Structure formats: structure tokens, C-alpha cells
Amino acid sequence: MFNMRLKWCFQKQKVQLKTIINCNMNKAVIFVHGLFGDPYRTWKGLSNEVSLPEMIRDDPALYELDVYSFGYKSNLHWLQYDFFDVASILHSEIDARLANHDIFFITHSMGGLIVQQYIVDQLEKGNLHIINRIKGIAYLSVPFEGSIYGNMFAKLHKQVNTLKAFSKDLADLKQKWIRYFYPNQHIPQLLLYGAKDQIVSRYSAKPTHINGTIYDVDEDHLSITRVDSNSTVYLHLRQFLIDHFMKVSEPTNKIKWDQYQKMFSEDANINLI
């Protein structure tokens, strides 16, 4: 068993969106795993026959949704993309495969930070049509303020270096998220924190600059993604999808060009052309 896990850690993983179900709808849920995660294994426990993406696929109340899982290199292979590269490739994948879809993200750990970086990048490029297609983000034990484990193992992995507590990358991302999205709730957000989590602290997973709905759940850092359809985690995700993705016919939270310009001060050095 140990040899199998070690072999997996050094495997190459192609960076792309994996299709769970494609019904040619115009609404897509994208799962984004965290550090050392996997587009399939992250979301499925050893005793679970059905993964979290498959639960959404099979839920009659969510039948209108296409479901994808984004996978990226995050193991011990020598070729590692850094935090910003992964966000850039996520944009490339969405633009190539889901250019006309409304998007809802379900993220775990570092995956939530990658999605935030992707959104900030698109906003700073003036791609408001992309921002306005993002209808919600669910964060499962995301270390918005970093983790002490990132400080301990930062030299071993590019992505771990980003996750250091008080790292410059996270500080910059936080500052921009506050500037662009707080307190205005342009994108609905749900935060689920595992009360048993020993990797990400309560302070880091439930920061004041994320203006969203917050719940504690009886899970740890890994079990929060490996749940069944009767779990509190799934019930919260399901209701959040229904409320913010299934019922919306005409979006009311669009960012308009004049609002976009006001987000940037004169010293932002951002080209608005």
C-alpha cells in the first residue's frame, strides 16, 4: 500500500477539466481540489461508492448541471506549476471548454485560493463577461490566511510555499479580494469549515474578508470532501446550488463597467483598455 501511494505521488497528472457529466447545458459545476489532491480521489472516500461530483450528477434537483473536476499537478513530481500558473491554466481550460457556461465552483483547501486568483486575474484584465458568469463559490476548509504546515514544508514544494502563514502571495490575494469584492457580494460564497481540521485553523478558514455564509461541520481536513448524500456537507452544498444557481433566471449581481472602474484607485497601475 505504501509503495502504491508513493508511486502516485510521483506520477504526472495532466492539467485539465475532467468531465463527470456533460448534458450540453449552459450551467457547469467545477470541482477544484487542493494540495496533493486528485480530480477523482479527493472527492471519494474509501467506503463511498459515489463521489461528491457524482452525487450532484445524480441528484434530481440538480439535473440541469454539467459537472467537471479540474485536475492539476500537485504531487511530488519535480515539475510543479506554481499557484499562479494553475490559475492561468484553469482560465484556459474554462475558456476552451465552457466559454458559454455559467460557472459554480466547489473547492477544497488550496483549490479555493486558485479560484480566487483566477477571478482576480480576469477582473484585472477587464474580462467582466467572465466574472459575471461566475454564480457562486463553495469553500471547503480553505486556508485563506495560510497554514503553519506551509511554513514547515515550504522548501519542498512550490505550492506549499504559497500556503505559508502570512505569505506574500496570500497577503496580495487577500488585499485584492477585499478591494474588489468586499463588502459588495458580487459572487455568492459558502464557507464550510471542518471542526476537526488539524491542517487549517479556524481563523484561516473563516476570515472576516470573505463575505459569505459560514458553517462549521463535524469533519476534518480530508473527510470534508469524502461525504455521502445525507451528510451535512452535501446538504449545505445542495441547498446553496439550488438557491444561487438553479433558481436564477436573470442575474442581479453583474459588475458593470462603471463599477469596475471605481474598484481601482489612480495608483493601481492597471490598464483599463
Which pLDDT score, from 0 to 100, does residue 152 have? 47
Which pLDDT score, from 0 to 100, does residue 12 have? 53
β-strands 213-217, 102-108 pairing: unpaired
The tens place of each residue's pLDDT in the chain, 273 residues long, gives 434 443 434 445 667 899 999 988 899 999 999 988 899 999 998 777 899 999 999 999 998 899 999 998 776 554 567 888 899 999 999 999 999 999 999 999 999 999 999 999 999 999 999 999 999 999 999 999 887 664 444 455 555 656 666 788 899 999 999 998 876 768 999 999 999 999 898 999 999 899 899 999 999 999 999 999 999 999 999 999 999 988 755 555 677 666 666 666 544 444 433
Cell, residue 23 = 448534458
Residue listed under C-alpha cell 500500500: 1
| Residue 241 to residue 28: CA distance in whole angstroms | 11
Q: Which fold has domain 2-262?
A: Rossmann fold (3.40.50)
DSSP state, residue 208: T
Buried b (16+ CB within 10 A) or exposed e, 199-218: bbbeebbbbeebbbbeebbe
Which among 173, 123, 119, 181 has a CA at the least distance from the CA of 144?
173
Question: Where exactly are the structural domains of the chain?
Answer: 2-262
User: How many beta carbons lie within 10 A of that of residue 161, not counting itself?
Assistant: 17
